[in-house]
Amino acid sequence: MQKDMRSRPVDKRSYPVDKRSKPQSISVDNPALVLLRGGGDLASGVALRLHRAGIKVVITELAQPLAVRRAVSFGEAVYEGEHTVEGVTARLVEQDQVYRALDANEIPVLIDPNADVLLAAFHFPVTIDARLLKTPPLPLSVNIPLHIGLGPGFHAGVNCQAVIETRRSHTLGRVYWDGPAQPDSGTPEGDPRRVLRAPCDGVLAAKAKIGDHLEEGQVVAILSEHAEHLVVSPLKGVLRGLIREGIPVTKGLKIGDVDPRDDASACYLVSDKALAIGGAALEAILSMEKIRRKLWR
């Protein structure tokens, strides 16, 4: 039986209405916020780094996120109501509960795919687009002093102020203030066999859990629509990521990740790549004095 994949209702009993969440200007009582678009594993590495540096981060997500490395993705809060990564908790909230979550030292997550609601309600000196769409984004609805884009599709000086390189190489994690990130190579990094893709359209039913050891040829998931199609592991290793069960997927979509290093503990740690990109975001923010003054006022 297919699971109901509607996002969990926000429990308003947890956070009463907060009048501060009406349109805000920067003040001592209400610190400036960073808007992070996307709650996947790389975006969560950025959120974690900024949060630990004392920066208040707000995440916007889809109504049905498609993260594969779900164990280290704050976007999982959309489904679970809250999700903790390396000791930091993100919580699904509504607009009037943002500051309550921040006061509790949590990262608020809102369902706002285009960020229209938040951009209209709050003043953000920094917006980071970490959705990894790999195509040029639509323009923001408001002017942002520092708009940072992650990876392909962003061009510093054209559709953002700064670009962070996301492709593994000696340029990974570098901040560009002029020019684009490297183009999308179209192939996964490392052994391409590790990436599991949907063989057809369908609804995913998991046959293994993140962190499980897999043998070559072992069934990881079943896609069901008009017929059943098996998704098997192409190699021996640990299941590092798997898209959420019950999600409708399309043919070719990345739905899983097998790590041949076979270290289950790595499934629950933010990756070196995500931390490098998070450090780059922090560098970009710190390099602008007027932004620093607002965020740590």
- Looking at the structure of the chain, the number of domains it has is 2
Q: Name the percent of the chain lying above pLDDT 70.
A: 89
Same domain flag for 146 and 47: yes
Residue 247 in domain: yes
Same domain flag for 57 and 174: yes
Same domain flag for 179 and 46: yes
Residue 73 in domain: yes
Q: Return the higher-pLDDT residue of 24 and 73.
A: 73
Same domain flag for 170 and 222: no
Tokens of 287: 């390099």
Residue 84 in domain: yes
Same domain flag for 91 and 160: yes
Tokens of 16: 């009463």
Window from 40-49, 182-191, 208-217 with minimum mean pLDDT = 182-191
Same domain flag for 74 and 157: yes
Same domain flag for 290 and 171: yes
Same domain flag for 105 and 165: yes
Residue 27 in domain: no
Residue 296's pLDDT is what?
A: 72
Residue 297's pLDDT is what?
A: 60
Same domain flag for 181 and 204: no
Same domain flag for 244 and 145: no
CATH, residue 222:
2.40.50.100
Residue 228's pLDDT is what?
A: 85
Residue 18's pLDDT is what?
A: 58
Residue 186's pLDDT is what?
A: 80
The parent domain of residue 57 ranges over: 33-185+273-295
Q: In this model, does residue 7 exceed pLDDT 50? A: no
Residue 189's pLDDT is what?
A: 78
Residue 16's pLDDT is what?
A: 55
Which residues sit opposite 213 in a β-bridge?
238
Q: In this model, does residue 8 exceed pLDDT 80? A: no
**How much is the average pLDDT of 134-143?**
93
Same domain flag for 175 and 290: yes
pTM (2 decimals)? 0.89
Same domain flag for 233 and 287: no
Q: In this model, does residue 27 exceed pLDDT 50? A: no
Instruction: Of 189, 186, 187, 194, give the one whose Cα is nearest residue 220.
Output: 194
